Structure 1
Amino acid sequence: MSERRVTLCWPNRIDEAALSGGSWSWGLPRDHLQTPVMAEVAESSDLLPSSTRFDITLPRFRTIAVAALCKHNLSVDARWRVRLFRDEDASEEMWDSGWLPAWPSIYASSELNWEDSNFWSGVPFEEDRQDFTPLAWAFADRPQVCRLVRFEIEDTNNADGVVRIGRCFVGDAWQPQYNAAYGIQYGHDIGTEFESAGNAEMTEYADVKAPKRTVTFSLDHLSEEEGVRRALALQRKQGLHGEVLYTEHKTPGPMAFSRTFMGRQVSVDPLTHPYYATYANTINLKEIL
Protein backbone atom coordinates (compact mmCIF):
# COMPACT_ATOMS: atom_id res chain seq x y z
CA MET A 1 0.00 0.00 0.00
CA SER A 2 1.16 3.50 -0.83
CA GLU A 3 1.99 5.88 1.99
CA ARG A 4 -0.04 8.73 0.47
CA ARG A 5 -3.16 7.85 -1.49
CA VAL A 6 -6.93 7.95 -1.01
CA THR A 7 -7.74 4.88 1.09
CA LEU A 8 -11.18 3.47 1.90
CA CYS A 9 -11.51 0.87 4.64
CA TRP A 10 -14.55 -1.38 5.10
CA PRO A 11 -16.32 -3.44 6.36
CA ASN A 12 -15.80 -3.34 10.10
CA ARG A 13 -15.23 -6.97 11.07
CA ILE A 14 -15.77 -6.36 14.77
CA ASP A 15 -19.52 -6.68 14.22
CA GLU A 16 -19.25 -10.40 13.46
CA ALA A 17 -16.57 -11.15 16.06
CA ALA A 18 -16.48 -12.40 19.65
CA LEU A 19 -14.85 -10.10 22.21
CA SER A 20 -12.91 -11.19 25.28
CA GLY A 21 -10.38 -9.91 27.78
CA GLY A 22 -10.00 -6.94 30.06
CA SER A 23 -12.23 -5.71 32.87
CA TRP A 24 -15.15 -3.53 31.88
CA SER A 25 -17.99 -1.62 33.53
CA TRP A 26 -21.26 -3.49 33.98
CA GLY A 27 -23.25 -0.49 32.72
CA LEU A 28 -20.87 0.32 29.85
CA PRO A 29 -19.65 -3.13 28.80
CA ARG A 30 -16.95 -4.15 26.36
CA ASP A 31 -19.62 -5.21 23.86
CA HIS A 32 -20.41 -1.53 23.24
CA LEU A 33 -17.33 -1.60 21.00
CA GLN A 34 -19.57 -3.45 18.56
CA THR A 35 -22.25 -0.76 18.65
CA PRO A 36 -22.02 1.67 15.71
CA VAL A 37 -23.46 4.49 17.83
CA MET A 38 -20.28 6.03 19.19
CA ALA A 39 -22.06 7.71 22.11
CA GLU A 40 -22.56 4.22 23.58
CA VAL A 41 -19.03 3.86 24.89
CA ALA A 42 -17.27 0.91 26.48
CA GLU A 43 -15.69 1.85 29.81
CA SER A 44 -12.95 -0.06 31.64
CA SER A 45 -13.25 -0.83 35.34
CA ASP A 46 -9.92 0.87 36.06
CA LEU A 47 -6.65 1.87 34.39
CA LEU A 48 -4.69 -1.33 34.87
CA PRO A 49 -3.25 -2.51 31.53
CA SER A 50 -4.81 -5.90 32.17
CA SER A 51 -8.22 -4.20 32.36
CA THR A 52 -7.91 -2.17 29.16
CA ARG A 53 -6.81 -4.92 26.78
CA PHE A 54 -9.20 -6.97 24.69
CA ASP A 55 -9.19 -9.58 21.94
CA ILE A 56 -11.34 -9.70 18.82
CA THR A 57 -11.81 -13.27 17.60
CA LEU A 58 -13.09 -13.49 14.04
CA PRO A 59 -15.47 -16.31 13.04
CA ARG A 60 -13.19 -17.29 10.14
CA PHE A 61 -10.06 -16.07 8.42
CA ARG A 62 -10.46 -12.43 7.42
CA THR A 63 -8.17 -9.94 5.71
CA ILE A 64 -7.24 -7.18 8.14
CA ALA A 65 -5.27 -4.18 6.92
CA VAL A 66 -6.10 -1.49 9.49
CA ALA A 67 -7.20 -1.15 13.10
CA ALA A 68 -8.53 1.95 14.86
CA LEU A 69 -9.90 3.24 18.16
CA CYS A 70 -12.58 5.88 17.67
CA LYS A 71 -13.90 8.59 19.99
CA HIS A 72 -11.72 7.55 22.92
CA ASN A 73 -10.81 9.46 26.07
CA LEU A 74 -7.15 8.47 26.05
CA SER A 75 -4.78 11.07 27.48
CA VAL A 76 -1.99 12.65 25.45
CA ASP A 77 0.52 10.37 27.22
CA ALA A 78 -1.38 7.16 26.45
CA ARG A 79 0.00 4.38 24.26
CA TRP A 80 -1.74 1.63 22.36
CA ARG A 81 -0.72 -1.47 20.47
CA VAL A 82 -2.43 -3.86 18.06
CA ARG A 83 -1.30 -7.36 17.13
CA LEU A 84 -2.66 -9.77 14.54
CA PHE A 85 -2.59 -13.54 15.04
CA ARG A 86 -3.26 -16.34 12.60
CA ASP A 87 -4.87 -18.57 15.23
CA GLU A 88 -7.48 -18.11 17.93
CA ASP A 89 -4.99 -19.05 20.66
CA ALA A 90 -2.71 -16.11 19.79
CA SER A 91 0.31 -18.38 19.37
CA GLU A 92 1.18 -17.45 15.77
CA GLU A 93 1.75 -13.72 15.53
CA MET A 94 1.57 -12.22 12.05
CA TRP A 95 2.04 -8.51 12.73
CA ASP A 96 2.81 -6.24 15.68
CA SER A 97 2.34 -2.47 15.49
CA GLY A 98 4.58 -1.92 18.50
CA TRP A 99 3.58 0.70 21.06
CA LEU A 100 2.11 3.77 19.37
CA PRO A 101 1.08 7.16 20.78
CA ALA A 102 -2.69 7.45 21.15
CA TRP A 103 -2.36 11.09 20.09
CA PRO A 104 0.06 11.59 17.21
CA SER A 105 1.49 14.90 16.07
CA ILE A 106 -1.53 17.12 15.36
CA TYR A 107 -0.11 20.64 15.15
CA ALA A 108 2.24 21.82 12.44
CA SER A 109 5.28 23.75 13.69
CA SER A 110 3.96 26.90 11.98
CA GLU A 111 0.95 26.86 14.34
CA LEU A 112 3.09 26.86 17.48
CA ASN A 113 5.46 29.24 19.20
CA TRP A 114 9.10 28.37 19.80
CA GLU A 115 8.41 28.60 23.54
CA ASP A 116 5.62 26.00 23.42
CA SER A 117 6.65 22.74 25.06
CA ASN A 118 5.06 20.80 22.19
CA PHE A 119 6.85 22.77 19.45
CA TRP A 120 8.83 19.73 18.29
CA SER A 121 6.28 17.00 18.97
CA GLY A 122 3.10 18.73 17.75
CA VAL A 123 1.13 16.64 20.27
CA PRO A 124 -1.83 18.54 21.80
CA PHE A 125 -1.92 19.67 25.39
CA GLU A 126 -4.23 17.70 27.65
CA GLU A 127 -6.68 20.60 27.82
CA ASP A 128 -6.82 20.82 24.01
CA ARG A 129 -8.08 17.27 23.45
CA GLN A 130 -11.72 18.36 23.33
CA ASP A 131 -10.96 20.39 20.20
CA PHE A 132 -10.42 17.24 18.16
CA THR A 133 -12.30 14.06 17.33
CA PRO A 134 -10.16 11.34 18.95
CA LEU A 135 -9.00 8.71 16.49
CA ALA A 136 -6.01 6.37 16.69
CA TRP A 137 -5.28 4.20 13.66
CA ALA A 138 -2.58 1.83 12.46
CA PHE A 139 -2.10 0.12 9.10
CA ALA A 140 -0.38 -3.24 8.94
CA ASP A 141 2.76 -3.42 6.80
CA ARG A 142 0.58 -5.39 4.38
CA PRO A 143 -2.92 -6.89 4.65
CA GLN A 144 -2.89 -9.97 6.87
CA VAL A 145 -5.22 -12.96 6.82
CA CYS A 146 -5.87 -13.69 10.49
CA ARG A 147 -8.32 -14.96 13.11
CA LEU A 148 -7.55 -12.80 16.16
CA VAL A 149 -6.82 -9.10 16.73
CA ARG A 150 -5.46 -8.01 20.11
CA PHE A 151 -5.64 -4.44 21.40
CA GLU A 152 -3.55 -3.25 24.34
CA ILE A 153 -3.80 0.18 25.99
CA GLU A 154 -1.52 1.86 28.55
CA ASP A 155 -2.97 5.02 30.08
CA THR A 156 -2.34 4.71 33.81
CA ASN A 157 -2.38 8.49 34.41
CA ASN A 158 -5.74 9.21 32.76
CA ALA A 159 -7.51 11.86 34.85
CA ASP A 160 -10.87 10.16 34.24
CA GLY A 161 -9.70 7.05 36.09
CA VAL A 162 -11.05 4.83 33.32
CA VAL A 163 -10.62 4.28 29.58
CA ARG A 164 -13.61 4.94 27.33
CA ILE A 165 -13.87 3.92 23.67
CA GLY A 166 -16.79 4.75 21.41
CA ARG A 167 -16.02 2.32 18.61
CA CYS A 168 -13.33 -0.08 17.47
CA PHE A 169 -12.55 -0.74 13.81
CA VAL A 170 -10.78 -3.71 12.23
CA GLY A 171 -11.08 -4.23 8.50
CA ASP A 172 -9.64 -4.39 5.03
CA ALA A 173 -8.49 -1.39 3.01
CA TRP A 174 -8.72 -0.41 -0.64
CA GLN A 175 -6.37 1.93 -2.44
CA PRO A 176 -7.28 2.46 -6.10
CA GLN A 177 -4.44 1.83 -8.52
CA TYR A 178 -4.66 5.48 -9.56
CA ASN A 179 -5.23 8.17 -6.98
CA ALA A 180 -8.26 10.43 -6.84
CA ALA A 181 -8.44 13.07 -9.56
CA TYR A 182 -7.48 16.66 -8.82
CA GLY A 183 -10.41 18.61 -7.42
CA ILE A 184 -10.91 16.66 -4.19
CA GLN A 185 -13.06 18.71 -1.78
CA TYR A 186 -12.71 18.75 2.00
CA GLY A 187 -15.15 20.64 4.19
CA HIS A 188 -17.52 20.54 7.14
CA ASP A 189 -21.22 19.88 7.46
CA ILE A 190 -22.27 22.34 10.17
CA GLY A 191 -25.81 21.69 11.35
CA THR A 192 -26.04 24.72 13.65
CA GLU A 193 -29.59 26.12 13.68
CA PHE A 194 -30.71 29.66 14.43
CA GLU A 195 -33.82 31.13 16.00
CA SER A 196 -34.68 34.78 15.56
CA ALA A 197 -36.27 36.81 18.30
CA GLY A 198 -39.35 38.89 17.61
CA ASN A 199 -37.64 42.20 18.37
CA ALA A 200 -36.83 44.83 15.77
CA GLU A 201 -33.24 43.64 15.49
CA MET A 202 -34.37 40.02 14.99
CA THR A 203 -31.63 38.90 17.38
CA GLU A 204 -30.36 35.44 16.46
CA TYR A 205 -29.81 32.64 18.96
CA ALA A 206 -27.66 29.72 17.81
CA ASP A 207 -28.29 26.07 18.64
CA VAL A 208 -24.69 25.00 18.10
CA LYS A 209 -23.97 21.59 16.53
CA ALA A 210 -20.62 19.85 16.16
CA PRO A 211 -19.13 20.25 12.67
CA LYS A 212 -18.77 16.99 10.75
CA ARG A 213 -15.95 16.65 8.27
CA THR A 214 -16.79 15.86 4.66
CA VAL A 215 -14.86 14.77 1.59
CA THR A 216 -15.91 14.45 -2.04
CA PHE A 217 -13.61 13.06 -4.69
CA SER A 218 -13.69 11.41 -8.08
CA LEU A 219 -11.93 8.19 -9.05
CA ASP A 220 -11.58 8.76 -12.79
CA HIS A 221 -9.25 5.93 -13.78
CA LEU A 222 -10.68 2.72 -12.35
CA SER A 223 -10.22 -0.62 -14.02
CA GLU A 224 -13.33 -2.68 -14.68
CA GLU A 225 -12.51 -4.90 -11.69
CA GLU A 226 -12.02 -1.92 -9.38
CA GLY A 227 -15.23 -0.32 -10.59
CA VAL A 228 -17.43 -3.38 -10.27
CA ARG A 229 -15.80 -5.30 -7.42
CA ARG A 230 -14.78 -2.31 -5.30
CA ALA A 231 -16.69 0.91 -6.03
CA LEU A 232 -20.06 -0.79 -6.56
CA ALA A 233 -19.39 -3.20 -3.70
CA LEU A 234 -18.85 -0.23 -1.39
CA GLN A 235 -22.26 1.14 -2.37
CA ARG A 236 -24.00 -2.21 -2.04
CA LYS A 237 -22.46 -3.32 1.25
CA GLN A 238 -22.22 -0.05 3.16
CA GLY A 239 -25.18 1.81 1.70
CA LEU A 240 -25.77 5.19 3.32
CA HIS A 241 -25.49 3.92 6.89
CA GLY A 242 -22.41 1.69 6.97
CA GLU A 243 -19.17 3.12 8.30
CA VAL A 244 -16.12 3.72 6.11
CA LEU A 245 -12.73 4.66 7.52
CA TYR A 246 -11.25 7.27 5.19
CA THR A 247 -7.70 8.61 4.97
CA GLU A 248 -5.14 9.96 2.56
CA HIS A 249 -2.22 8.99 4.77
CA LYS A 250 -1.16 5.65 6.21
CA THR A 251 1.00 7.27 8.89
CA PRO A 252 -0.58 9.68 11.42
CA GLY A 253 0.64 13.29 11.41
CA PRO A 254 -0.71 16.88 11.34
CA MET A 255 -2.01 16.72 7.77
CA ALA A 256 -3.15 13.13 8.19
CA PHE A 257 -5.08 13.71 11.42
CA SER A 258 -7.12 16.51 9.86
CA ARG A 259 -8.15 14.35 6.90
CA THR A 260 -8.73 10.96 8.50
CA PHE A 261 -12.12 10.10 9.91
CA MET A 262 -14.81 7.48 10.31
CA GLY A 263 -17.60 8.40 7.94
CA ARG A 264 -20.52 7.18 5.89
CA GLN A 265 -21.67 7.74 2.33
CA VAL A 266 -24.13 10.63 2.03
CA SER A 267 -24.99 9.81 -1.58
CA VAL A 268 -24.05 7.22 -4.18
CA ASP A 269 -23.28 8.10 -7.78
CA PRO A 270 -23.46 5.73 -10.76
CA LEU A 271 -20.36 3.95 -11.94
CA THR A 272 -19.67 5.40 -15.38
CA HIS A 273 -17.75 3.99 -18.33
CA PRO A 274 -16.44 7.09 -20.14
CA TYR A 275 -13.58 5.50 -22.09
CA TYR A 276 -12.40 2.11 -23.25
CA ALA A 277 -11.24 -0.01 -20.26
CA THR A 278 -11.76 2.95 -17.93
CA TYR A 279 -14.46 3.43 -15.30
CA ALA A 280 -15.19 6.36 -12.98
CA ASN A 281 -17.07 6.98 -9.77
CA THR A 282 -17.57 9.91 -7.38
CA ILE A 283 -17.56 9.24 -3.63
CA ASN A 284 -19.13 11.50 -0.99
CA LEU A 285 -18.45 10.89 2.71
CA LYS A 286 -19.52 12.62 5.94
CA GLU A 287 -18.00 12.06 9.37
CA ILE A 288 -19.78 9.97 12.00
CA LEU A 289 -19.60 11.43 15.51
Structure 2
Amino acid sequence: MAKGKLADSNLIADATLSGGVWHADYGLAQLQTDRDYIGSPARCLDRTDLAKTRFRIAWSEPRVVDMLVLLFHTMSLSAKYRVETLDEDLATVLGDTGWLNVTPSIYDPTDLEFLAENFFSGTVTQGEIDLYPRHLWAPIEPALAFGLDVFLDDSSAGAGHLDIGGAWAVASWSPEINFERGHDLVVLGRDVVDETPSGRRIGEERPPQREQTLSYSMLTDAEARRFIDASMRARSTRTVLFAPDTDDPAALIREAFPATFSRLPGARFTYPGLHQSGFALKEILA
Protein backbone atom coordinates (compact mmCIF):
# COMPACT_ATOMS: atom_id res chain seq x y z
CA MET A 1 0.00 0.00 0.00
CA ALA A 2 1.36 3.39 -1.00
CA LYS A 3 0.92 6.39 1.26
CA GLY A 4 -1.63 9.03 0.30
CA LYS A 5 -0.14 11.57 -2.12
CA LEU A 6 -1.15 15.24 -2.11
CA ALA A 7 -0.34 17.75 -4.86
CA ASP A 8 -1.36 21.40 -4.81
CA SER A 9 1.08 22.76 -7.43
CA ASN A 10 1.16 21.82 -11.10
CA LEU A 11 4.66 21.89 -12.59
CA ILE A 12 3.20 22.00 -16.11
CA ALA A 13 2.07 25.60 -15.54
CA ASP A 14 5.52 26.97 -16.44
CA ALA A 15 6.59 24.22 -18.85
CA THR A 16 6.87 24.23 -22.63
CA LEU A 17 4.69 21.63 -24.36
CA SER A 18 5.49 20.28 -27.81
CA GLY A 19 5.38 17.22 -30.03
CA GLY A 20 2.72 15.12 -31.65
CA VAL A 21 -0.04 16.51 -33.86
CA TRP A 22 -2.85 18.22 -31.99
CA HIS A 23 -5.96 20.16 -33.05
CA ALA A 24 -5.33 23.76 -34.14
CA ASP A 25 -7.91 25.13 -31.69
CA TYR A 26 -7.51 22.46 -29.01
CA GLY A 27 -3.77 22.14 -28.75
CA LEU A 28 -1.38 21.20 -25.98
CA ALA A 29 -1.77 24.60 -24.30
CA GLN A 30 -5.19 23.38 -23.13
CA LEU A 31 -3.37 21.01 -20.76
CA GLN A 32 -2.01 23.98 -18.80
CA THR A 33 -5.38 25.42 -17.78
CA ASP A 34 -8.05 24.08 -15.44
CA ARG A 35 -10.87 26.44 -16.45
CA ASP A 36 -12.78 23.81 -18.45
CA TYR A 37 -11.36 20.30 -18.53
CA ILE A 38 -14.13 18.74 -20.62
CA GLY A 39 -15.17 21.66 -22.84
CA SER A 40 -11.64 22.69 -23.83
CA PRO A 41 -9.40 19.61 -23.94
CA ALA A 42 -6.23 18.98 -25.89
CA ARG A 43 -7.38 16.89 -28.87
CA CYS A 44 -5.52 14.59 -31.22
CA LEU A 45 -7.64 13.85 -34.27
CA ASP A 46 -5.95 10.53 -35.09
CA ARG A 47 -5.53 8.22 -32.10
CA THR A 48 -4.24 5.39 -34.31
CA ASP A 49 -0.89 7.14 -34.97
CA LEU A 50 1.56 7.02 -32.04
CA ALA A 51 3.65 9.80 -33.59
CA LYS A 52 0.63 12.11 -33.31
CA THR A 53 -0.61 11.23 -29.83
CA ARG A 54 2.71 11.82 -28.04
CA PHE A 55 3.87 15.06 -26.40
CA ARG A 56 6.83 16.49 -24.50
CA ILE A 57 6.89 18.54 -21.29
CA ALA A 58 10.10 20.59 -20.92
CA TRP A 59 11.40 22.99 -18.26
CA SER A 60 14.20 25.56 -18.44
CA GLU A 61 15.27 24.56 -14.92
CA PRO A 62 15.21 21.04 -13.41
CA ARG A 63 12.13 19.93 -11.51
CA VAL A 64 11.66 17.06 -9.07
CA VAL A 65 8.84 14.95 -10.53
CA ASP A 66 7.32 11.73 -9.23
CA MET A 67 3.92 11.52 -10.92
CA LEU A 68 2.08 12.46 -14.11
CA VAL A 69 -1.71 12.74 -14.03
CA LEU A 70 -3.89 13.03 -17.15
CA LEU A 71 -7.38 14.25 -16.28
CA PHE A 72 -10.67 13.66 -18.09
CA HIS A 73 -9.10 11.64 -20.91
CA THR A 74 -11.08 9.63 -23.46
CA MET A 75 -8.68 6.73 -23.92
CA SER A 76 -10.27 3.31 -24.24
CA LEU A 77 -9.94 0.27 -21.99
CA SER A 78 -7.25 -1.13 -24.30
CA ALA A 79 -5.03 1.99 -24.26
CA LYS A 80 -1.43 2.02 -23.05
CA TYR A 81 0.95 4.77 -21.95
CA ARG A 82 4.66 5.31 -21.42
CA VAL A 83 6.56 8.11 -19.65
CA GLU A 84 10.27 8.85 -20.04
CA THR A 85 12.11 11.22 -17.69
CA LEU A 86 14.65 13.41 -19.53
CA ASP A 87 17.98 15.01 -18.62
CA GLU A 88 19.14 18.53 -19.51
CA ASP A 89 19.78 17.73 -23.17
CA LEU A 90 16.22 16.34 -23.50
CA ALA A 91 17.77 13.33 -25.22
CA THR A 92 19.22 11.34 -22.33
CA VAL A 93 16.56 9.19 -20.68
CA LEU A 94 16.85 9.12 -16.88
CA GLY A 95 13.88 6.84 -16.29
CA ASP A 96 11.32 4.89 -18.31
CA THR A 97 8.05 3.38 -17.10
CA GLY A 98 7.84 1.09 -20.13
CA TRP A 99 4.45 0.50 -21.73
CA LEU A 100 1.71 0.17 -19.12
CA ASN A 101 -2.06 -0.24 -19.32
CA VAL A 102 -4.06 2.95 -18.81
CA THR A 103 -6.72 0.74 -17.18
CA PRO A 104 -4.87 -2.15 -15.49
CA SER A 105 -6.37 -5.41 -14.32
CA ILE A 106 -8.14 -5.16 -10.96
CA TYR A 107 -10.05 -8.46 -10.76
CA ASP A 108 -8.89 -11.98 -10.05
CA PRO A 109 -10.58 -14.60 -12.27
CA THR A 110 -12.06 -16.18 -9.14
CA ASP A 111 -13.98 -12.94 -8.55
CA LEU A 112 -15.74 -13.16 -11.90
CA GLU A 113 -18.26 -15.42 -13.55
CA PHE A 114 -16.69 -17.80 -16.06
CA LEU A 115 -16.53 -16.23 -19.54
CA ALA A 116 -17.74 -12.85 -18.33
CA GLU A 117 -16.70 -10.11 -20.74
CA ASN A 118 -13.72 -9.20 -18.53
CA PHE A 119 -12.92 -12.75 -17.33
CA PHE A 120 -9.59 -13.00 -19.16
CA SER A 121 -8.50 -9.36 -18.97
CA GLY A 122 -9.48 -8.72 -15.34
CA THR A 123 -10.19 -5.07 -16.15
CA VAL A 124 -13.32 -3.14 -15.33
CA THR A 125 -16.12 -3.39 -17.87
CA GLN A 126 -17.17 -0.56 -20.15
CA GLY A 127 -20.22 0.00 -17.97
CA GLU A 128 -18.09 0.24 -14.83
CA ILE A 129 -15.52 2.64 -16.27
CA ASP A 130 -18.29 4.91 -17.57
CA LEU A 131 -19.50 5.47 -14.00
CA TYR A 132 -16.56 7.79 -13.33
CA PRO A 133 -14.57 10.44 -15.19
CA ARG A 134 -11.38 8.89 -16.57
CA HIS A 135 -8.12 9.98 -14.98
CA LEU A 136 -4.70 8.41 -15.48
CA TRP A 137 -2.46 8.40 -12.40
CA ALA A 138 1.06 7.51 -13.51
CA PRO A 139 3.67 7.33 -10.71
CA ILE A 140 7.23 7.61 -12.01
CA GLU A 141 10.58 7.07 -10.36
CA PRO A 142 11.37 10.37 -8.58
CA ALA A 143 13.96 12.30 -10.54
CA LEU A 144 15.42 15.77 -10.99
CA ALA A 145 14.29 16.17 -14.58
CA PHE A 146 14.33 18.77 -17.32
CA GLY A 147 11.46 17.13 -19.18
CA LEU A 148 9.06 14.26 -19.70
CA ASP A 149 8.21 12.44 -22.92
CA VAL A 150 4.66 11.09 -22.81
CA PHE A 151 3.58 8.37 -25.26
CA LEU A 152 -0.06 7.33 -25.66
CA ASP A 153 -1.18 4.26 -27.60
CA ASP A 154 -4.92 3.93 -28.19
CA SER A 155 -4.53 2.57 -31.72
CA SER A 156 -6.39 -0.67 -31.01
CA ALA A 157 -9.60 1.32 -30.41
CA GLY A 158 -9.77 2.22 -34.10
CA ALA A 159 -10.33 5.53 -35.84
CA GLY A 160 -11.38 8.54 -33.83
CA HIS A 161 -10.00 11.38 -31.76
CA LEU A 162 -8.36 11.36 -28.34
CA ASP A 163 -8.98 14.04 -25.70
CA ILE A 164 -7.03 14.97 -22.58
CA GLY A 165 -8.78 17.51 -20.39
CA GLY A 166 -5.76 18.50 -18.34
CA ALA A 167 -2.30 17.33 -17.31
CA TRP A 168 -0.43 17.58 -14.02
CA ALA A 169 3.24 16.85 -13.46
CA VAL A 170 3.86 16.90 -9.73
CA ALA A 171 6.25 16.36 -6.89
CA SER A 172 3.62 14.80 -4.65
CA TRP A 173 3.90 15.01 -0.88
CA SER A 174 3.16 12.49 1.88
CA PRO A 175 3.74 12.75 5.63
CA GLU A 176 5.97 10.03 7.06
CA ILE A 177 2.95 8.45 8.81
CA ASN A 178 -0.02 7.83 6.54
CA PHE A 179 -3.53 9.18 7.10
CA GLU A 180 -5.68 7.51 9.72
CA ARG A 181 -7.78 4.49 8.86
CA GLY A 182 -11.47 5.22 8.56
CA HIS A 183 -11.34 7.96 5.95
CA ASP A 184 -14.73 8.78 4.45
CA LEU A 185 -15.77 8.73 0.81
CA VAL A 186 -19.33 9.88 0.15
CA VAL A 187 -21.31 10.39 -3.04
CA LEU A 188 -23.32 13.60 -3.13
CA GLY A 189 -26.51 13.54 -5.16
CA ARG A 190 -26.96 16.52 -7.48
CA ASP A 191 -30.24 15.58 -9.19
CA VAL A 192 -32.88 18.29 -9.15
CA VAL A 193 -36.09 16.59 -7.94
CA ASP A 194 -39.62 17.96 -7.88
CA GLU A 195 -42.96 16.41 -7.06
CA THR A 196 -46.15 16.75 -9.12
CA PRO A 197 -49.52 17.45 -7.46
CA SER A 198 -50.33 13.75 -7.89
CA GLY A 199 -47.22 12.73 -5.94
CA ARG A 200 -45.07 11.59 -8.87
CA ARG A 201 -41.41 12.47 -8.35
CA ILE A 202 -39.69 13.81 -11.43
CA GLY A 203 -36.14 14.94 -11.75
CA GLU A 204 -33.36 16.39 -13.84
CA GLU A 205 -30.44 14.00 -13.50
CA ARG A 206 -26.99 15.40 -12.92
CA PRO A 207 -23.72 13.51 -12.36
CA PRO A 208 -23.11 12.68 -8.69
CA GLN A 209 -20.15 14.29 -6.95
CA ARG A 210 -17.67 12.58 -4.66
CA GLU A 211 -16.32 14.04 -1.44
CA GLN A 212 -13.50 12.59 0.62
CA THR A 213 -12.54 13.37 4.23
CA LEU A 214 -9.18 12.42 5.72
CA SER A 215 -7.31 13.06 8.94
CA TYR A 216 -3.71 12.77 10.14
CA SER A 217 -2.66 12.45 13.77
CA MET A 218 1.09 11.79 13.90
CA LEU A 219 2.62 14.82 12.22
CA THR A 220 5.94 16.53 12.83
CA ASP A 221 6.14 20.33 13.10
CA ALA A 222 7.19 20.62 9.44
CA GLU A 223 4.45 18.27 8.22
CA ALA A 224 1.71 20.15 10.07
CA ARG A 225 2.97 23.43 8.65
CA ARG A 226 3.05 21.91 5.16
CA PHE A 227 -0.72 21.30 5.41
CA ILE A 228 -1.23 24.95 6.38
CA ASP A 229 0.82 25.98 3.34
CA ALA A 230 -1.48 23.84 1.16
CA SER A 231 -4.48 25.77 2.49
CA MET A 232 -2.89 29.11 1.70
CA ARG A 233 -1.84 27.97 -1.76
CA ALA A 234 -4.96 26.13 -2.96
CA ARG A 235 -7.60 28.04 -0.97
CA SER A 236 -11.16 26.87 -1.64
CA THR A 237 -11.27 27.26 -5.44
CA ARG A 238 -7.98 25.97 -6.87
CA THR A 239 -7.43 22.42 -8.04
CA VAL A 240 -5.67 19.93 -5.78
CA LEU A 241 -4.98 16.25 -6.36
CA PHE A 242 -5.01 13.51 -3.74
CA ALA A 243 -4.49 9.80 -4.38
CA PRO A 244 -5.08 7.62 -1.28
CA ASP A 245 -3.17 4.62 -2.67
CA THR A 246 -1.44 4.63 -6.06
CA ASP A 247 -0.63 0.93 -5.65
CA ASP A 248 -4.34 0.01 -5.83
CA PRO A 249 -5.80 0.60 -9.32
CA ALA A 250 -9.31 -0.29 -8.15
CA ALA A 251 -9.11 2.42 -5.48
CA LEU A 252 -7.70 4.97 -7.94
CA ILE A 253 -10.78 4.66 -10.16
CA ARG A 254 -13.14 5.37 -7.26
CA GLU A 255 -11.17 7.41 -4.74
CA ALA A 256 -8.75 9.63 -6.69
CA PHE A 257 -10.03 12.69 -8.54
CA PRO A 258 -9.26 16.37 -9.12
CA ALA A 259 -10.85 18.40 -6.35
CA THR A 260 -11.04 21.59 -4.37
CA PHE A 261 -10.79 21.80 -0.61
CA SER A 262 -14.29 21.84 0.87
CA ARG A 263 -12.65 21.96 4.30
CA LEU A 264 -9.22 23.53 4.36
CA PRO A 265 -6.38 21.75 6.15
CA GLY A 266 -5.39 23.32 9.44
CA ALA A 267 -3.26 22.01 12.28
CA ARG A 268 -3.64 21.16 15.95
CA PHE A 269 -0.24 21.41 17.61
CA THR A 270 0.32 19.13 20.61
CA TYR A 271 3.74 17.42 20.78
CA PRO A 272 6.28 16.96 17.95
CA GLY A 273 5.30 13.82 16.09
CA LEU A 274 1.74 13.93 17.42
CA HIS A 275 0.32 17.02 15.70
CA GLN A 276 -2.99 16.64 13.86
CA SER A 277 -4.55 17.87 10.65
CA GLY A 278 -7.43 16.99 8.37
CA PHE A 279 -9.24 18.14 5.26
CA ALA A 280 -12.12 17.40 2.93
CA LEU A 281 -11.98 17.32 -0.86
CA LYS A 282 -14.91 17.87 -3.21
CA GLU A 283 -14.67 16.51 -6.75
CA ILE A 284 -14.31 18.73 -9.81
CA LEU A 285 -16.72 17.39 -12.43
CA ALA A 286 -15.76 19.39 -15.53
Fold shared, TM-score > 0.5 on shorter chain: yes
Q: Which residue of 2 aligns with 1:45?
A: 45
Paired positions, count: 282
Structure 2 residue identity aligned to 1:45: L
Question: Quick one: structure 1 residues 121 and 91, their matched pair in 2 at CA, closer, same or farther if it must change by over 3 Å?
Answer: same
The CA RMSD over aligned residues, in Å, is 2.0
Q: Aligned residue for 1:121?
A: 121
Deviations 1:211-242 (A, max 9, x none): 222210111111001111x2112111111222
1:238-276 deviation per Cα after TM superposition (whole angstroms, max 9, x unaligned): 112222221122234223432222222112143111335
Look up the match of 2:90. Answer: 90
Task: Name which of structure 1's ranges 103-112 and 234-243 shifts more when overlaid on structure 2.
Answer: 103-112
1:131-170 → structure 2 map (5 Å cutoff)? 131-141=131-141, 143-159=142-158, 161-170=160-169
Corresponding position of 2:13: 15
Residues 54-107 of structure 1, C-alpha deviations (whole Å, 9 max, x = no match): 0111242211110121111111111111111122x4222221111111112245
Give 1:210's match in structure 2, choosing from 207, 210, 217.
Answer: 207
Identity of aligned residues (%): 23
Distance of 1:220 and 1:110 partners within structure 2: 38
Partner amino acid, structure 2, of 1:247 = A
**1:179 Cα deviation after fit:** 1.3
Q: Distance in 2 between matches of 1:117 and 1:196?
A: 40
TM norm structure 1: 0.90
Q: Secondary structure at the match of 2:24?
A: coil
Query: Which letter maps to 1:19?
Result: L
What TM-score do the two structures reach when normalised by structure 2?
Answer: 0.91
Output the CA distance in 2 between the equivalents of 1:193 and 1:109.
40
Cα 1:275–1:109 shift into 2, 3 Å: farther
Alignment partner, residue 184 of structure 2 = 185
Q: How many Å separate the matches in 2 of 1:245 and 1:105? A: 23
Deviation larger for 99-108 or 15-24: 99-108
Cα pair distance change 1:250/1:128, threshold 3 Å: closer
Q: Per-residue displacement from partner, 1:180-212 (whole Å, max 9, x unpaired)?
A: 123311112222221222x232x2221212122
1:172 equivalenced with 2:171 (yes/no): yes
Task: Give a deviation string over 1:114-151, Cα, whole Å, max 9, x none.
Answer: 2214224321344654223211122123x211111111
Q: Distance in 2 between matches of 1:208 and 1:9?
A: 32
CA positional deviation for 1:112? 2.9
> CA contact under 8 A between 1:188 and 1:213: conserved in structure 2?
yes
- Local SS of the residue matching 2:177: coil
More off after superposition, 267-276 vs 170-179: 267-276
Asked if structure 2 preserves the Cα contact closer than 8 Å seen for 1:10 and 1:172, the reply is: no
Q: Distance in 1 between matches of 2:55 and 2:198?
A: 59
